[in-house]
Amino acid sequence: MPKPLIALDWGTTRARAFLISETGEVLQRRVADQGIQSVPAGGYPAAFEALAGDFRRARPDAAVVLAGMVGSRNGWVEAAYVACPASPDEIAAAGLPVTLADGTSATVLPGLSCDDGAFDVMRGEETLIVGLGLEDGIACLPGTHSKWIEIRDGRIVRFASFMTGEVYGLLRQHSILARLAEEPAGDDAAVGASRGLAAANRPGGLLNTAFSARTEVLGGRMKGGEVGPYLSALLVAHEIASAAALFGRQQPVHLVADGVLAESYSAAFEAAGLPIAITTPEAAFIAGVTRLAAGLAS
């Protein structure tokens, strides 16, 4: 008989807590800045209490499952990476128990490792991927360090990271381009993005086409407000092209994103001629953690 579920997506800088009913309905949700980097040594039971103690008291019968960096070396307990290929049941089986402040138990989920030529790891994304419920396919989770994941026969078989979001921040905030960039106004965002997608097809590569933003602005051919959207679209298009080289042009790509990332990636996928299916990160997390909790109980 299914139980209610208290699930946390507990990352480095942020935590998202959900109280989920027996039927999979989100009864309560909370987002807080108490990522694991703000938790002192020995402080996890108190941090959980602050984040979701009221959920626990409301539903003492609920299972408690914690995903993300909370399972890393700097987290509550280190749940060793499960090596790909990995099924949902194998991920659930590698969860580790921790004891909450009230003496009840919670499960910390592991991350995944992949040794497909280059070594790579993830923590938290595996839960969203499980939530997609794919038997076979390819998924893209955009972010500071975007992940692309391949699923075969219901198992995560390999994945790769791209430092797209971080390189965008470096170029936009710390490079010579930062001085020329301005807040987008009018149609700057649309024009800049369109130019960035086009530039990604030029043969000069990222190091040349990123620099073009500078010379185009100096030459009076690009507005300062177009620089950020240009760089963002350029980088996203490079990520998509590189991932297609790594994984092939599998269709559709299952994009897990919302807000501005969903918009910018959708536009770049359309420009690349790749159809997509979009799921929000919250929907993917809820479905994934519910599936993994069932694996724990079984």
Residue 267 and residue 273: Cα distance in Å, rounded?
Answer: 10
**From candidates 212, 232, 279, 290, binder to its own copies by CB under 8 A:** 212
**175 vs 280, which CB is nearer to its own copies?**
175
The least CB distance from residue 22 to its own copies, in Å, is 39
Is residue 43 a contact partner of residue 70, using CB atoms and an 8 Å limit?
A: no
Cβ-based neighbours of 50, under 8 Å, separated by 6 or more = 32, 34
**From candidates 117, 259, 273, 275, binder to its own copies by CB under 8 A:** 117
Size of the site for its own copies (CB under 8 A): 45
The least CB distance from residue 151 to its own copies, in Å, is 18
Q: Is 176 helix (H, G, I), strand (E, B) or coil?
A: coil
Question: Which of left, alpha, beta for 174 (phi over 0: left; psi -120 to 50: alpha)?
Answer: alpha
Instruction: Find the part of the chain contacting its own copies (CB under 8 A) among 43-51, 60-68, 98-106, 214-222.
Output: 214-222
226 is a contact residue toward its own copies (CB under 8 A): no
80 is a contact residue toward its own copies (CB under 8 A): no
Instruction: Find the part of the chain contacting its own copies (CB under 8 A) among 89-97, 132-140, 162-170, 283-291.
Output: 162-170
**92 vs 149, which CB is nearer to its own copies?**
149
Structure tokens at 190: 């649309």
**From candidates 13, 215, 249, 263, binder to its own copies by CB under 8 A:** 215
DSSP-assigned beta bridge partners for residue 139 = 149, 254
Among 296, 298, 284, which Cα is nearest to 65's?
296
CA distances from residue 125 to 142, 149, 197, 244 in whole angstroms, order as listed: 10, 9, 27, 20
The least CB distance from residue 24 to its own copies, in Å, is 34
User: Among residue numbers 232 through 291, which ones bind its own copies (CB under 8 A)?
Assistant: 235, 238-239, 241-243, 245-246
The least CB distance from residue 209 to its own copies, in Å, is 7
179 is a contact residue toward its own copies (CB under 8 A): no
- The DSSP-derived string for 7-47 is EEEE-SS-EEEEEE-TTS-EEEEEEES--GGGPPTT-HHHH
The least CB distance from residue 141 to its own copies, in Å, is 14
β-strand 15-20 against 5-10: which pairing, if any? antiparallel
Q: Is 207 helix (H, G, I), strand (E, B) or coil?
A: helix
Residues that bind its own copies (CB under 8 A): 113, 117-121, 145-146, 160-164, 166-167, 170-171, 174-176, 199, 202-212, 215-216, 218-219, 221, 235, 238-239, 241-243, 245-246
